[in-house]
Each structure stands twice: as C-alpha cells, then as structure tokens.
Amino acid sequence: MATLGIDGTGQRLLRRLNPGPGGWQVGLATVATVGVALGLSALLIAVTGGSPTASTKALYQGSMASPAAWSTSLLYVAPLLLVAVGACVSARSGFFNIGQEGQVLIGALAGAWVGLRLAVPGPLLLVLVLLASVVGAGIWAGLSALMYRFRGVNIVVSTMLMTFLAQQLISFAVNTPWLLQESRLGRGTLSPQSNPVPENARLTSLGDYPNLQLNGGLVLAVVVAVVLALVMARTRWGFRLKMVGLNPAAARHAGVRVGALGGIALAISGALAGLAGALLLTSPVGTNRLQPGMSLNIGWDGLLVALVARNNPLLAIPVAVLFGVLRAGGSFLAATGVPSFLVDVVKALLVLAFVAPPVVIGMLRRRRLADEPATPTSTPTAPTAPAPTDPAAGSSEAAGSAPAGSTAPVPGPRTTAPPPADPGDAGTTGTKDAMEGRLA
C-alpha cells in the first residue's frame, strides 16, 4: 500500500516548467521568444495561403473591436480562469493535475442532473446547480488521490485517463432516455443532448446587446481567483501547501499531514474545474444543454493558462483574458480563408514562448555554476616561535641537524610534539637531493 505523498512525475514536470529564476534576463528572453512566436505564426498563416494582416484584423474584430466582441471574449475568460486557478492550487501542493477536461464535463453533468431533476423556484436552483457541479467534480478528482493512496496509481496518469472515462459517461447520459437525453417533441429526431436548463438556473448578465455585457460567471471567477491567491499567500494553510510542494519530507517532519493536504488540493482543483463546467452550462457561452463536446477544450486551455501564469492565481487573470481573446477571435479566421486550428498553433507557440525562457536560463545558470572552478580555501597556520639563541645551536648546525636560519616549532603547554620521522624518509630525501645535484 503506497503512502499518499507528492507525485514524483508531477513534481519533476513542475520543476522543469517553473524553475523560478527571475530578473531582467528572463524578461528580455520572454519578449524575444514572444516576438519569435508571433513571427512563426505569421509565417504559418502565409504558408497556408492566408494573409497575416487580414488574419490579425479578423482576430481583432472578433474579440476586441466592439463591446459585443469584448462580451464574447469575457464569456470565455470566466471558465478558463477557474480551471487555471484550480491548476495553480494543485500545482502548489506538488500534484500535477491534467484531468481538467474531464472534470469540466463531470461538473456539467452533475449540474445538469440537479437543474433538470429538481423543481426548485427562484435563484435557489442556480445555487444548487453550482454546488452540485463543485461537489461532483471534486469527488471525481479525489478518486485519483484515493487510487494513488491505496493502489499507487500515478496522479498524472490517472487524471488523464479519467478524462476519457468522463467523456464516455457524458455520451451515455445524453443518449439514454431515462437519464438525461432530451424529451421527444412530436415525431422529431432525438439528438445526443439534454433539455435546456430552466431559466432560473442560468446566470444573468449586466448590460444589453450590443453594449458590453458582463456575465455573473466572470465576477464569480475573479472573486475566486483573488480569494484563493490571498489564502495561499497569507494563511497557514497556504504556507503548509507551499511547504508540501517544495519539500514533502520536511513538511512531514514538521507535522503536516502531507497525504491529506495533497488530496484536498487535488479535490479543490477538480471542484473549480467543475465550477467552470457549470458556467458552460448556465452562461450564454453555450446552448445551456449538456452535450458531449460542450467542454470546448476549456480544460486543456485552462491548464495552459496556469502554466503561462507560472501557477500564480492573480497573474492568471490577464493570461486568461489573452486566451479568451484568441478563442473568441478564432471563429472569425474562417472568413479570411485561414483554418481555425491555427489558433491552437498560435496558443501553443505562445505557451512555449512564456515557459521556455525560465527553463533555458535556469539550465544555463546551473551549467555555469558547475563549470566554475572551486576556489581553494587556505587553512590558517599556527605561529611558530623563533629558535632560542644558544651557543649549542651552532654545533647543531655544524652537525647538520638543522640548517642555519630555520625555525623549529616549540611545543606549548597544550600542544603535542611532532611525531618522529620515519626512517624510510631519509632514503627518499637523499635520493631526491642526489638527483637535484646531478641536474644542477
């Protein structure tokens, strides 16, 4: 039976992706790599037959050119930010959770079940839908911690494989009439989706089209990010979480329950991903129906947001805005003849541009320190007392016992006399003197 501790594979990945060297070198290298990434993106667009200028204009028009475009971008920001903040929590504890895509689906499944099965009036139904999504996805992520605790299953592997299991569960739910498949209307064909959630189970927005609209999910996501950033930076629980991530052995020696704390962090990460799934179900970003492809790769992109933000919840807010802009503007690329999948290529290049400089600079620093020669340390020698002037000393010099002008150590009251010379050293010394005389 394995002991639930820090997942070794995830910890090594985090060390490679987030080594932590700062300074102006990393800043300049990041600016340079981002420029290279944008240049490569323009080159790929040109090679595929598109126009980089027209593509950039289309991205801008679809994401930032008008208040309505900003409204669409901000709708994507909310679930991306929630997934990223959850990834920051699990990464801080040393667990590398990569199953957010499946946890988003499980959260949407639990929320759809509650929203369509409970006849609760008023906004209480919306609260129950959000809570069900949080609890369902949190339990789903906690299963990976239990598998590691009792069977030694790797956290990275289990969270990734459970994503495919979640996809099959969603497909089964929306294709089963007694579960969550939509109701038949007349003789129409049933689709693999659920009925839309009721109106009182949907998040409202501030503002009217075509003006700027701020959905309640964005406010919720920003509040969660700020609160968790303060908790991880200013509370004892956050300090213990950081201690477990940096050195689980030292944390265990200090009395921290490493296994329980890591499992809770993984469950919180899954719960926030489930809350993102609830936003996809209850906000205007989707169709308000449970569908197999409703996650829209939000889980994977949210993980990328956390990596670019270097596991900082506050820094994840502007990064999520950037990814939301790319996602909202990507739908406008088809009008310019550029395939929409190039947006994913651009996102991948930007992730590498932000992640690679700290890794490369950290490797160069470690190699430079390893190549530097070690500075010799000189040991202080005890002062020696001069030999007493004694007439008998001349006869000693004449007898060859000590050369003229040499000083002999005088043992003090707490020092020991030097050990007697080895008789074998005399032959070695004589041979050396004879060879030096021949060479002279």
Q: Are 121 and 35 in contact (CB under 8 A)?
A: no
Give Rg (Cα) of the chain: 34
Distance between CA atoms of 52 and 410, rounded to whole angstroms?
Answer: 87
Q: At how many degrees (to 10) do helices 258-282 and 124-151 cross?
A: 140
CA distance 89 to 313: 8
Backbone angles phi, psi at 215, to 5 degrees: -75, 150
Q: Which two tokens stand for residue 409?
A: 């150590």
Q: Choose between 234 and 362: higher pLDDT.
A: 234
| pLDDT digit string, tens, across residues 260-307 | 898 999 999 999 999 999 999 999 988 899 999 899 889 999 999 998
The residues near 167 (Cβ < 8 Å, ≥ 6 apart) are 102, 105, 292
Residue in this structure with the two tokens 């208040």, named with its chain if needed: 67
If you write DSSP's letter for every residue of 266-302 in order, what string do you get?
Answer: HHHHHHHHHHHHHHHHHSTTS-SS--TTTTTTHHHHH
CA–CA separation, 229 vs 224, rounded Å? Answer: 8
Average pLDDT over residues 161-166: 95
> Distance of CA 387 to CAs 280, 409, 414, 430, Å?
93, 8, 19, 25
Give the pLDDT confidence of 413-439 residue by residue, as tens digits. Answer: 544 555 555 444 444 444 444 444 444
What is the residue type of 192? P
Residue 28's pLDDT band, with cuts at 50, 70 and 90, is: confident
pTM of the shown model? 0.77
Confirm if 61 and 283 have CB atoms less than 8 A apart. Answer: no
- What pLDDT was estimated at residue 380? 56
Instruction: Give the list of residues 6+ apart from residue 203 with CB closer than 8 angstroms, or none.
Output: 126, 215, 216, 217, 279, 282, 283
Return the bridge partners of 206, or none: 214
Highest mean pLDDT among 4-8, 62-66, 143-147, 307-311: 143-147
